[in-house]
A and B are shown apart, each in its own frame.
Chain A
């Protein structure tokens, strides 16, 4: 269908009707998730296999193969959902395609082994909407991803896209739009949580011209990929939001600053922008209203700090991405010292919803302080990893168990990290109980810190900040008992040290010194005054850092100390890593459970495993570098991670009692 300029809301309505009419209702559409995650899993061969198979069966005219954006259930990719029934096939391989075409497409039968099986109830669930992972979500922003080809503007229009834009430009005044956004309670989804309506109002009021509207797509938090999937899967929603915002603020120039590491997002966004321009929904004289606004895509250079608004604008100007003081706000003087309004990708994507369905509807979702939904990237030690969109106020329990499906293996939850390197680690369930009577050296830990579990914490901006973390951009990393909190804090500090721009003293030197202290602790050279020293340094660094990277750098340390002080004490006083991660404090040893399967032999990088098939294996304590590869691989729970030096004892005892195993069942591991 050739691009035709839409020059009025009526044109848009008619175009939508035409597209829908041209499409067969209830046509069978095979949607294949083609987000970066599923691409890496190999969805492209699946898609081409389908096309070939359908052609061979002569069904290529009746059945459509549509590659869509990210569906969110990244754990189970490549995903194939057959519409209109919504039959959900997971972990599809090209070799499965023929069977799907033969049985499901032609005969309406199911291919059982590709269906989803709930790991907790073992139940088989056929339809996507019934799968708990999806059922318990509220996929307002993300929902369209599964139904549309991101490179097709017609798909977006057919699903009702750009109606909000038409209404905003022709039936509302700029001030009305700002009021609506204010009333909805929308807060920034990039991490700051600043009320979006208030920001727009300040920018509108600011003196200076031209004004800029910027989309922050420099999603740098490790473990967060919501913005990527939104831009890859539904770029038009972001474009629509930006045009509405630009109209409300009075801007004609827009930029989207995308991380260089997201090539597919850049590609799909550029295609969408071109299509929108051709249809008169972007560029000059949008929808025939005379309002002009255009968007330029700019790529980042690989710097986490460029997610900070002033650093982003410096990078947009072609300079090094160093932040500057925000005593004068960017809405007053930002990009090239002009008033600039910066919002996150997800924030922009929420705007068309608010305009379409109204602020009251939006404010009805969520809690008193945090309205609407939030997309989280649920990753780590949880069964169902992927992107989940939930209403604000949902509890951690519902997310981790209800949607996440619990922790894999025989393990227990330990902690959840939200807000990325600027956020905090929250204790979820206390597994490692501390008996203060048996270990009097831990008497110094306050009672309330020890007893907590935050599994029932409602997730919203205020609550997360109250308990020492923050919402952040939405990365939610789940950790189990095999994660050491000192190591986690060390990991984040190392990340921040690499990403610090180095301009201001406290961040550049402070993070370096704190990392040295943490490294010392993790290597068994910790001193009793180290925790107090870290707390003192954290106060000064948080007080005097120039930008939020430095200001929030102490958060991972402070939150892990708050909830896991005993773990720190174990490292410092006992010289022991309870989780068995910190190399200098741990010894790996094989115990009595070993059944001689020899699986650990090859992965060992130093050839430290001694043993032959069906015999008790041992780890050479001198060669072992504590990498944990054997621990990862062993299906029989035979690898013990004990305090440094105690490995020999374990292996001696094992040798005494070990008997050759006969037909043992492996321990259940997902």
Chain B
């Protein structure tokens, strides 16, 4: 579109022909008040507060709404003549007579100099700006809200004022409402954990974690409005570099490599099956991971440690060994929980006035400075209770237990069962293998231990290699460990992998099997037998093929081959006969 010149309050500016005066004024830094305007939506021009005076310099003048008035060459706009200000003031006074004292209106009234509205105040919290209807229609595309009735009875409503079947619960209407008239309500019979503090992801597009690599936002297609209704796409409208691609999908890539390091990590134990701890049943029982999220300055509470009702706790209980050292969960010790539990105790002591209780079985603090840290905490008046927690309950037996969580535990050091009232319970969850560890290990032809962790070649002498050459493991996928140990193991795995890469050649044992192609019938008997996946089927030639680098010379395939196409080096029939002959000669 052509560029034209207009003036606003005497200031000239060049704009696109047909663009709106309100946007031009914004570029000049001139503030025009609005009530029903929202970027990325078609201007509605219902509130008339953005009225300005338009002139052509030849005597024609008209009051127009700046939000949707298209600019033309030579247009002169005045935003603050007495006529305009009177009109704005009158309109706001009339609106005030319908509405309750809403902050956004009070603010505007102060701006326009209205001290005492002539017709008093009303009771409506809706200012009929239409933003909720428009966002639901234009941006979201759900069409669940509409204006009903007309004239002075006009109001925003869902059909028949009942719960709308078209509403997709996106919350866009509540977000754009300037007065708070629309609120998101919890719908009954839906389980919402931590209803007031959401400790989970709460945006359809966000950077998943602060340390995400790459550090860019990603769209959660389950919550994204566009993927639900085809509407919205506001993100692509605001992105200045045009980075949003809705058609992006997962792609499969084939990469040829010589060595593989598996570092797939661990899964945090979900304490829900352990009903005695009440996780998911009572508010304010959270896992250590969720506590870390809350504690983070960029988290939902801005780094404050708060209960679900936004108050600070007076007492916090930290329960060790949740999911570890437990015959009902995992029998092993997860190694890291005691130390991080102590860290959490220290954090709580630092940040709040709360009493802190740690409930432990044994305190496992190996490592540099760790025992000293434990000492320090005892001196900081953290209460250490040696005993397994029997249950966490909200059933109060004394007045001081009312409205609080009660931890029932056997304190073995004093030999008594105690009931300790606390406000917040933090569960120190253990580490466990990923649920799909078994599938992953099969893919790479390695083994798992009985606990489900990947199996190293030798517990003492081969911590990073596996029984399959070229495949190495590092980190928590091999077993629970803390960060220093993980880093060390990772270095070791990398070094071993580098050795192979560096050498460029692989030394093989001589006693590998070999295939005589003419004799192979393609019966495929040998292929599943190889424990080292050294045999594969050549589809074109319709016969088997051996990867000599993988073959360890176990001889299983040789024994199984019905036609004798497979033979083993150094173990030919003839060679064996000759060896026998030699031995017999000696005897």
Residues of chain A at the chain B interface (Cβ within 8 Å): 303, 320, 324-325, 327-328, 497-506, 508-510, 512-513, 533, 536-537, 539-541, 543-546
Q: Are B94 and A510 in contact (CB under 8 A)?
A: yes
On whether A505 and B94 interact (CB within 8 A), knowing A320-B147, A327-B68, A327-B70, the answer reads yes
- B116 nearest CB across to chain A (Å): 15
Known: A327-B68, A497-B151, A536-B90. Contact between A504 and B46, CB under 8 A?
yes
Q: In the complex, what residue of chain A is closest to B99 when comparing beta carbons? A: A509
Does any Cβ of A come within 8 Å of B134's Cβ?
A: no
B72-119 residues with Cβ-Cβ distance < 8 A to A are 83, 86-87, 90-91, 94-95, 97-98, 118-119
* Residues from chain B with Cβ under 8 Å of A320 in the complex: 147, 150
CB distance from A639 to the nearest CB of B (A): 36
B68 adjacent to A513 (CB under 8 Å):
no
State the B residues within 8 Å of A (CB).
45-49, 51, 63-65, 68-70, 83, 86-87, 90-91, 94-95, 97-98, 118-119, 128, 130, 147, 149-154
Cβ-defined partner of A544 (8 Å) among B91, B119, B149: B91
Chain B residues closer than 8 Å to A502, beta-carbon distance: 128, 147, 149-154
Instruction: Please indicate the chain A residues that have their CB under 8 angstroms from the CB of B118 in the complex.
Output: 533
Q: Are B46 and A543 in contact (CB under 8 A)?
A: no
- Smallest CB–CB gap between A515 and chain B, Å? 10
Instruction: Check A546–B151 contact: CB distance below 8 A.
Output: no
Q: Which of A303, A320, A505, A539 has the most CB of B within 10 A?
A: A505
**Contact between chains at A540 and B87 (CB < 8 Å):** yes
* Chain B residue with Cβ nearest A550: B48
Nearest-neighbor residue (CB-CB) of B130 within chain A = A503
User: Contact at B46–A500, with CB atoms within 8 Å?
Assistant: no
Cβ-defined partner of A539 (8 Å) among B86, B95, B130, B152: B86
User: B90: which A residues are within 8 A, CB to CB?
Assistant: 506, 510, 536-537, 540-541
Complex alpha-carbon distance, A375 and B46, angstroms: 36
Contact A544 B46 (CB under 8 A): no
A-B contact pairs, 26 of them (CB 8 A): A303-B150, A325-B65, A325-B68, A327-B70, A499-B151, A500-B150, A501-B151, A502-B149, A502-B152, A503-B46, A504-B45, A504-B48, A505-B91, A506-B48, A506-B90, A506-B91, A506-B94, A508-B128, A509-B94, A509-B95, A512-B152, A533-B118, A543-B63, A544-B51, A544-B63, A546-B45
A506: chain B residues at CB < 8 Å are: 48, 90-91, 94
Give the chain B neighbours of A543 by CB distance below 8 A.
Answer: 51, 63, 83, 87
- Residue pair B95, A546 in contact (C-beta under 8 Å): no
Q: How far, in Å, is A525 (CB) from chain B's closest CB?
A: 15
How far is B64's CA from A508's CA once the two chains are assembled, in angstroms? 18
Indicate if the CB atoms of B94 and A498 lie closer than 8 Å. Answer: no
Chain A residues closer than 8 Å to B98, beta-carbon distance: 509
C-alpha gap A662/B491 in the complex (Å)? 131
A513 touches B152 (CB 8 A): no
> Shortest distance in angstroms between B542's beta carbon and chain A's nearest beta carbon?
66
Residues from chain B with Cβ under 8 Å of A303 in the complex:
150
Residue of A nearest to B72 (CB): A327
> How far is the CB of A390 from the nearest CB of chain B, in Å?
34
* Residues of B contacting A499 in the complex (Cβ-Cβ under 8 angstroms): 151
Contact partner, B95, options A325, A501, A505, Cβ 8 Å: A505
Shortest distance from the beta carbon of A336 to any chain B beta carbon, whole Å: 16
Closest to B62 in A: A543
* Contacts A540-B86, A544-B51 given; does A508 touch B68 at CB 8 Å: no
> A553 to chain B: closest CB distance in Å?
12
A327→B64 contact, CB < 8 A: yes
On chain A, the residues within 8 Å of B69 by CB distance are 325, 327
Q: Given the complex, which residues of B lie within 8 Å of A546, measured CB to CB?
A: 45-46, 48, 65
Known: A502-B128, A505-B46, A544-B87. 14 other contacts (CB 8 A): A497-B152, A500-B150, A501-B151, A501-B154, A505-B49, A505-B128, A509-B97, A509-B98, A510-B94, A513-B97, A537-B90, A540-B87, A544-B51, A546-B45
Q: Within the complex, what minimum Cβ distance (angstroms) separates B100 from chain A?
A: 15
- A629 CB to closest chain B CB (Å) equals 31
In the assembled complex, which residues on chain B have CB atoms less than 8 Å from the CB atom of A537?
90
Cα–Cα distance between A327 and B65 once the two chains are bound (Å): 10
Alpha-carbon distance between A86 and B97 when the two chains are bound, in angstroms: 62
Residues in chain B near residue A509, CB distance under 8 A = 91, 94-95, 97-98, 152
Most buried by A among B68, B118, B152: B152
Closest to B118 in A: A533
B151 touches A498 (CB 8 A): yes
CA distance A541 to B94 in the complex (A): 10
Q: Closest CB of chain A to B123's CB: distance in Å?
A: 14
A541 to chain B: closest residue by CB: B90
CA–CA, A498 to B45, complex, Å? Answer: 21
Nearest residue in B to A544 (C-beta to C-beta)? B48
Instruction: Considering the complex, give the chain A residue whose CB is closest to the CB of B89.
Output: A540
Contacts of A505 in B (CB 8 A): 46-49, 91, 94-95, 128
CA distance A543 to B64 in the complex (A): 8
Give the chain B neighbours of A325 by CB distance below 8 A: 45, 65, 68-69
Given contacts A325-B68, A543-B51, A543-B83, contact A501 B94 (CB under 8 A): no
CB-based nearest A residue for B20: A327
Nearest 3 pairs between A and B by C-beta?
A: A502-B154, A540-B90, A509-B94
Cβ-defined partner of A508 (8 Å) among B49, B63, B152: B152
Taking CB atoms, residues of chain B closer than 8 Å to A512 are 152
Q: How far is the CB of A526 from chain B (nearest CB, A)?
A: 16
Complex alpha-carbon distance, A504 and B86, angstroms: 17
In angstroms, Cα B70 to Cα A541, docked, is 22
Which residues of A lie under 8 Å from residue B91 when comparing CB positions?
505-506, 509, 540, 544
Q: Provide the residues of chain A in CB contact with B147, threshold 8 Å.
A: 320, 502
- Determine how close the nearest CB of chain A comes to the CB of B362; give it in whole angstroms: 72
Contacts of B63 in A (CB 8 A): 543-544
Complex Cα gap A583–B151 (Å): 27
Least distance between B67 CB and chain A CB atoms (Å) = 10
- Distance in Å from the Cβ of A537 to the closest Cβ of chain B? 7
Q: How far is the CA of A328 from the CA of B154 in the complex (A)?
A: 26
Expressed in whole angstroms, the minimum distance between the Cβ of B71 and any Cβ of chain A is 10
Residues of A within 8 A of B94 (CB): 505-506, 509-510, 513
Report how far A498 CA is from B152 CA in the complex, Å: 8
A504 to B48, alpha carbons, bound, how many Å?
A: 7
In whole angstroms, how far apart are the Cα atoms of A544 and B63 in the complex?
7
Docked complex Cα distance between A501 and B147 (Å): 11
Roughly how many angstroms separate A536 CA and B70 CA in the complex, as a whole number? Answer: 29
**Complex-state Cα separation, A502 to B47, whole angstroms:** 11
CA distance A539 to B89 in the complex (A): 12
Q: Which residues of chain A are near B68, meaning CB under 8 Å? A: 325, 327
CA distance A502 to B133 in the complex (A): 15
Give the distance in Å from the alpha carbon of A155 to the alpha carbon of B152 in the complex: 49
Q: How far is the CB of B353 from chain A (nearest CB, A)?
A: 51
For the complex formed, measure the closest distance between the CB of A540 and the CB atoms of chain B, giving whole angstroms. Answer: 4
Query: How far is B51's CA from A328's CA once the two chains are assembled, in angstroms?
Result: 17
Most chain A CB inside 10 Å of its own CB: which residue of B51, B94, B147, B152: B94
Given the complex, which residues of A lie within 8 Å of B149, measured CB to CB?
502
Q: How far is the CA of A546 from the CA of B63 in the complex (A)?
A: 10
Residues on A with C-beta less than 8 A from B48 are 504-506, 544-546
Q: Which residues of B contact A327 (CB under 8 A)?
A: 64, 68-70
Q: How far is the CB of A320 from chain B (nearest CB, A)?
A: 7
CA distance A320 to B147 in the complex (A): 9
Q: A223–B65 Cα gap in the complex (Å)?
A: 34
Q: Nearest CB to that of B65 among chain A residues?
A: A325
Complex CA distance for A147 and B403, rounded to whole angstroms: 91
Please indicate the chain B residues that have their CB under 8 angstroms from the CB of A510 in the complex: 90, 94
- Which residues on the A side are within 8 Å of B119 (C-beta)? 513
A557 CB to closest chain B CB (Å) equals 15
Q: For residue B67, which residue of chain A has the nearest CB?
A: A325
Residue of A nearest to B18 (CB): A328
Compute how far the CA of A442 lies from the CA of B154 in the bound complex, rounded to whole angstroms: 41
Most chain A CB within a 10 A radius of its CB, from B118, B147, B149, B150: B150
Per the bound structure, the CA–CA distance linking A540 and B45 in Å amounts to: 16
Give, as a whole number of angstroms, the nearest-CB distance from A322 to chain B.
8
For A324, the closest partner residue in chain B by CB is B45
